[in-house]
Structure formats: structure tokens, C-alpha cells
Amino acid sequence: MNQAHISLQNLCYAYEEGAPLAVDSVSLDIRRGEFVALLGHNGSGKSTIAKLLNGLYTPTSGKVLVSGMDTADDRNTWEIRKRCGMVFQNPDNQIVATVVREDVAFGLENLGVPSERMPRLIDDALRAVNMLEFADRAPHLLSGGQKQRIAIAGILAMQPEAIVLDEATAMLDPSGRQEVLETALRLNRERGVTVVWITHFMEEAARASRVAVMYKGSLVMDGSPREIFSQVEKIRRFRLDVPPMTRLSAMLRERGVGLRADILTAEEMLEEVRALAHKA
């Protein structure tokens, strides 16, 4: 099937009639199984796009198609929400039940899934985020990273084809961030779930298969992490930065060391330095 999984077609959105466009003429096709990092300064339109992807907002003009279904058509709303789940920034605003298992069941109940089918779906979802042993615990006693994994499990139980995570790691500590990112990467790799990962952390974006950059409502860059982050000056003009190791590689080149411009991680930097040391 050649069809895009999620297709934004000349998408525009204004919060009020006559207000400036928060999203301005964005066209983007996301293929099934991609892991797309969506970057942009505060107020660039990233979160607005996230809410347009599963019909929480409907376009002012242009279209969003999820598996070919138009989000502006009310008849598609439930089907789209089931197929395209969302995880938000604040873990404490997303927990609805007093027991983890019941929290994960919430979405299934809303979809009218027969109760005899639920335990398997819930266990499977909790296992997928490595939280099965917490099934009977109280969610408010878990860490931020664990709460976000419960939120992901709640979506997974509905067997979605896509997950949109809107700064899901912003309020977490480094180990919590790591847990949530690894969980999303694994679901993408092992289950083929399409992931849209919105973040301000450039080193997280470096792990994506594709990076899209928003600036003042418009889509201004789109490519692989290596293509995007090797353009240090350009990405800074859009009020963003490059991952720390890419920055270091730029500093080294300024100091006359000839090494690759598209280094993303400390491990790649180590390899590059070893290779250069051998040549010297």
C-alpha cells in the first residue's frame, strides 16, 4: 500500500477566526512505521499539530487524513482516536483510576470492548511497557516515568497504529526520560507502531528515523537526523540547537580537526576520534 499513514495536506489552523495562523500551510506525509521527531521553538505550532492529528482540533483549512480517513468528518472521530493515541506532557493529568489495571482499562471500556477480552489486552499492554508487575498498584505512587508508561499502555491496549507523544518526557528526570523514550522506540521497532515524538531535547530527536522542524507555524525542515543536525547554523536560526556531540564536532572543525559533520552520539564521536588517532 503506497498510501501515507498520516497525511497533512496544506494544513492551516487558527485558534480564533481572524487570529494569526498557529499552523500555516503544512504538508507532510508520515509513512507507516516511521518514528518522526517533531521539533520547534515554544509556540511554533507543534502541540497544535499534535491535537490536529487525532481530531481533537479540526483544520481551519486543508486536511488531515489518518489511514485515509478525514479527521474533519465526525463519523471518523472514534475510529481515528482508537487508531491514533496521544500521550501528553503532564503525567499527573492523564491518570483516571486508583489502580493501574483499571486505568489501562479506561480506554477499552469507552470503546465498548467486551469485559472477557479485557484482561488479556491489559496484560499485554502492561507487558509491552514493562509495567506488568505494577498492575495492581496505585498509580499515584509511581514515578513520573512509570506514570507515562502507564499512559502509553492505556493507548496500546486499544491496539493503535500510531502514537503521538507531545513532550511526554519534559517533566521527567533523566532516567524517566530514558525509560519512556526506549519504550516508544521499542514499540516502533517491534510492533511497527508509527510514532510522532514531540520534544525539546535534541539528543532524543537524534534517535528518530526522521526529523521535522516547525518555525512560527510553518514546516521548515524535514529529513533524517543526520541531514537535519549537520546544518548547525540553519537549525540555530530556527531557535533550536543540535545534539551536544554534533556541537562538539562543529567546535573541533573550527579548531582545524577534519571530522564528519553529522556525528550524533558520544559512541559515534568515540569511533571517529579513534579512527583519527590511528591515522595520525
Partner 1 sequence: MPIKLDSLSHTYQEGSPFQATALHDVDLTIEDHDLLALIGHTGSGKSTLAQHLNGLLKPTSGRVLLDGQDINDKSTDRRALRFAVGLVFQYPEHQLFEETVRKDIGFGPRNMGLEEGEIDARVREAMDKTGLPYDEIAEKSPFELSGGQMRRVALAGVLAMRPRILVLDEPTAGLDPRARDFLLEDIRRLHKGGTSVVMISHSMDDVASLATRVAVLEKGRLVMQGSPGEIFSRVEELGRMGLDVPQASKLRHLLFDAGIELPECYRLEELADSLADYLKGGAEHAG
Q: Which stretch binds partner 1 (CB under 8 A): 60-68, 148-156, 180-188, 262-270?
A: 262-270
Q: Which stretch binds partner 1 (CB under 8 A): 9-17, 37-45, 155-163, 190-198?
A: 37-45
The answer to the question of residue 170 lying near partner 1 (CB under 8 A) is: yes
Q: Which of 130, 143, 209, 218 binds partner 1 (CB under 8 A)?
A: 143
- Please enumerate in sequence order all residues whose Cβ is within 8 A of that of 180, keeping only pairs 6 or more positions apart, or say none: 145, 148, 149, 152, 165, 168, 169, 172
Residue 112, exposed/middle/buried by CB under 10 A (0-12, 13-18, 19+)?
A: exposed
The answer to the question of residue 97 lying near partner 1 (CB under 8 A) is: no
The answer to the question of residue 111 lying near partner 1 (CB under 8 A) is: no
Q: How many CB atoms lie within 10 A of CB 70?
A: 17
Q: Which is nearer to partner 1, 69 or 248 (CB)?
A: 248
The answer to the question of residue 217 lying near partner 1 (CB under 8 A) is: no
The answer to the question of residue 227 lying near partner 1 (CB under 8 A) is: no
The answer to the question of residue 241 lying near partner 1 (CB under 8 A) is: yes
Are the C-beta atoms of 185 and 205 separated by less than 8 Å?
no
Least Cα distance to 177 among 45, 89, 50 occurs for: 89
Minimal distance, residue 280 CB to partner 1, in Å: 3
Q: Which stretch binds partner 1 (CB under 8 A): 34-42, 58-66, 116-124, 149-157?
A: 34-42
The answer to the question of residue 269 lying near partner 1 (CB under 8 A) is: yes
Q: Which of 152, 162, 202, 205 binds partner 1 (CB under 8 A)?
A: 202
Measured CA to CA in angstroms, residue 14 lies from 18, 25, 45, 273 at distances of 8, 11, 10, 49
The answer to the question of residue 251 lying near partner 1 (CB under 8 A) is: yes
The answer to the question of residue 62 lying near partner 1 (CB under 8 A) is: no
Measured CA to CA in angstroms, residue 240 lies from 44, 76, 168, 280 at distances of 11, 36, 18, 35
Which three cell numbers, joined as nine digits, stand for 84? 491514533
d(CA 11, CA 181): 28
- Please enumerate in sequence order all residues whose Cβ is within 8 A of that of 38, keeping only pairs 6 or more positions apart, or say none: 46, 49, 50, 196, 197, 198, 199, 212, 214
Kindly state the number of chain residues that form the binding site for partner 1, as judged by CB under 8 A: 41
The answer to the question of residue 261 lying near partner 1 (CB under 8 A) is: no
Minimal distance, residue 43 CB to partner 1, in Å: 5
Measured CA to CA in angstroms, residue 249 lies from 95, 187, 233 at distances of 42, 31, 13
Instruction: Give 197's strand partners.
Output: 37, 165
The answer to the question of residue 248 lying near partner 1 (CB under 8 A) is: yes
Q: Which of 12, 14, 25, 41 binds partner 1 (CB under 8 A)?
A: 41
d(CA 191, CA 33): 9
The answer to the question of residue 233 lying near partner 1 (CB under 8 A) is: no
Which stretches of the chain bind partner 1, using CB under 8 A?
40-44, 89, 143-144, 167, 170-176, 200, 202, 239-241, 244-245, 247-248, 251-252, 254-257, 266-267, 269-270, 273-274, 276-278, 280
